[in-house]
Structure 1
C-alpha cells in the first residue's frame, strides 16, 4: 500500500509518519477508531443505565477492551490515558485534544470547544511515558459564531501533528440553530471538504440519511469524493443490532467509499468478552477486507 505523505511532514519525520499510519491501519489506509471520548461528550448517559453492563461505568472497561481487541487506535482524553496508560502500554492511542459536554443545547448557544493541551505537550508525554501514541484528534463545529476560532486551531493542530510524524483525525459536525438536518448528505460532504482543506488524515463525520431518515450507502459517495485524500470515518452512533451495524459498515466501505469508522457505544456498551468480539468483527471488515458473514463468525 502506497501512503500519501502530506508535504508538511518534514523529511526527517516521513518514516515515523508512515509507521504510525501503517500500524494504525494495518497497512490498508483504513482506520478502525475505537472512540472513548464520550465520558465528557455525553457525560454518564452512555455508561450507566438500562441495558448497559455495570462494568461499562468504569473508564477502565474501555482500556481492557482496547488492550485485548484489534483496534487501529483507541481515542480518548489525555487524562484517562495518563491515569491508565502505564497498565495498558500495548494500546495504540490517539489523544483527543478537546471535548465539551452536551448540557447546553446546540440551538441555544453556538458550540465552542477549545483544545485542552497542545500537540507539543502530547509529543513530550509520548517521550516521557513510552506509550504508543499514533496521533491526535480534535472536534470542531461548523455553523456558529465560533467556527473561525476552531478552524484556526484545527489547522494548527493538523500541521503540528504532521511536523511530529503523527496522524490527525478531525471530528467535524455542523451544529446550531442554522443547521436543520445534521444527517443531510450534501451538508456532510461540505464538512468533509472542510476537513480536506484543513489537511486532516481522517475526518469523522455523521452518517448521511435519506429524507425519511434511512441509511443509504450511496449517499456517502458525494461525501468521500469531497474529502479527497482525507479518509472519511463514519460515526458509530447509538448501539444497534450487531448484524445491522456490521452490514451498514460493510456498505459504507464497499459502496460509499469510506475509509473507516469511529465506533464507541456499539463496542463498550457490552460486557468485556462480547465487546472484544464486536471490536474484532469491526476491525475485520475495516482493515482485513472481511465480508459481513466472516465478521459475524467472530461474534460466536
Structure 2
C-alpha cells in the first residue's frame, strides 16, 4: 500500500492527521523508534543480556524488522470473549496452528496468545516466530459475569515452551486492580530474571468511568496514568487502546490532575491525545503499541490504517491487531496486517 492509498483510506481525516505538525509535546523530548532502539534505550537499564536478546528478537522479526516498529498478532479473545464468539466468523482459528500461520504469513514481529495455543505447537513454531505468552485472562464462564484478570499459568511454563516474552493485563481502576498490580509486577520480575521481555495490556475498567454517554475508560488522562503505572512495574512495551477523549479525571472528579495536562500537554487532535499516552511511557523509553479493537466488517482496513497513522505520528511503536485480521478469510487477514505495516514502512508518514 502506497502513500496515496493511505490518504484515500483516511478520507476527510487525511489533512488533520497527515498534516498535523503542531503537537503540544515536542518530538524533541521523545525517545523515538529506530533501528538501534534496543541499544539506545535498554542497554543502559537493569535488563539482562538475555532480556536484550529477547527484545532484539521481537524488534528484529517480520516485515518491520530492524525499523524500531512492531506488528503483533494477539489472539487471546478465545478466553477473553469466548472461543465461539471470537472464531465463529472464521472457524479455522479454533486450530492454534492457523493462528501461528497467520502471524508468519502476515509478516508480524510476534504472536501473542494463550499458554495452550502456544504449548500445543511449541516445538514446530517456537523457533520460527517470537512467542508472547499471555499469562492472565478474564474468563467469561462465571455467572453472573465478573471482570477480573487471573493467572492461567506460571512464568516458568512460558519460558519452558519457548516464549520470547510474556504479556499480561491489568484492569486499572477496577476493584481487583491492587491484587493484579502485585501479581503482574512479581511475574514481570521473574520473566526478566529468566530473560524474557514483558508487555503489559494497560486497560482501565470501571463502570463509574462512564458519564453522560461518554466512556472515559479511553480518556487520554486516565489511560496515560495507567501506562505510567505499567512502566513503573517495568513493562518493556505498553499496549493501550487509542484514546477517544480526555478529561476523565476532571469529569468523573477523582484522582488528581493539573490544568496544564489539558492546555499545554494535549489537545483535541488524536495525535496529541496519543502522544500524551506515550509521554507517560517515560517519553517513549518503553514503546507504546495501540490495539486494533473489535472487527466491524468493511471499515476494518480504514480504521486500522487510521490507528496506525495516529500511533506512528504520535511517536508510538506499532499496532497489536487481532480480531480485524483473524475474523476474516486468511488471505484477507494477511493483506490487512501488511497494509498496517506499510504505514510504518512509509517514509512519507513522519513523526509530528
With the shorter chain as reference, the TM-score category is: 0.7 to 0.9
Quick check: 52-61 or 189-198, which moved more? 52-61
Task: Tell me the distance in 2 between the aligned counterparts of 1:69 and 1:216.
Answer: 27
**Equivalent residues in 2 for 1:233-248 (5 A)?**
233-239=289-295, 240-248=299-307
Q: Structure 1 residue 47 and structure 2 residue 87: aligned? A: yes
**Equivalent residues in 2 for 1:46-85 (5 A)?**
46-48=86-88, 52-85=89-122
Task: Tell me the distance in 1 between the aligned counterparts of 2:51 and 2:78.
Answer: 34
Deviation at 1:99, TM superposition (A): 1.0
Q: Tell me the TM-score normalized by structure 1.
A: 0.82
Over 3 Å counting, the alpha-carbon distance change for 1:265 and 1:245 in structure 2 is: same
Deviation at 1:188, TM superposition (A): 0.9
Task: Tell me the distance in 2 between the aligned counterparts of 1:290 and 1:102.
Answer: 43
Q: Which runs of 5+ in 1 are unaligned?
A: 127-132, 293-300
Q: Structure 1 residue 202 and structure 2 residue 202: aligned? A: no
**SS at the partner of 1:249?**
helix
Q: Choose which of 115, 124, 146 in structure 1 pairs with 2:160.
A: 124
Equivalent residue number for residue 98 of structure 1: 136
Over 3 Å counting, the alpha-carbon distance change for 1:53 and 1:19 in structure 2 is: closer
Equivalent residue number for residue 36 of structure 1: 75
Task: Tell me the distance in 2 between the aligned counterparts of 1:20 and 1:136.
Answer: 14
Equivalent residue number for residue 295 of structure 1: none
Over 3 Å counting, the alpha-carbon distance change for 1:185 and 1:103 in structure 2 is: farther
2:289·2:311 contact (CA, 8 Å) conserved in 1? no
Task: Tell me the distance in 2 between the aligned counterparts of 1:118 and 1:55.
Answer: 28
Equivalent residue number for residue 283 of structure 1: 341
1:250·1:291 contact (CA, 8 Å) conserved in 2? no
Structure 1 consecutive aligned stretches of length 4 or more whose deviation exceeds 6 Å: none
1:67·1:88 contact (CA, 8 Å) conserved in 2? no
Q: Tell me the TM-score normalized by structure 2.
A: 0.71
CA deviation vs aligned residue, 1:65-122 (integer Å, no higher than 9, x gap): 123220011000011111233443423211110111346699x75x322222222222
Equivalent residue number for residue 172 of structure 1: 202
**Superposition CA RMSD, Å:** 2.6
Equivalent pairs counted in the alignment come to: 276
Deviation at 1:156, TM superposition (A): 1.7
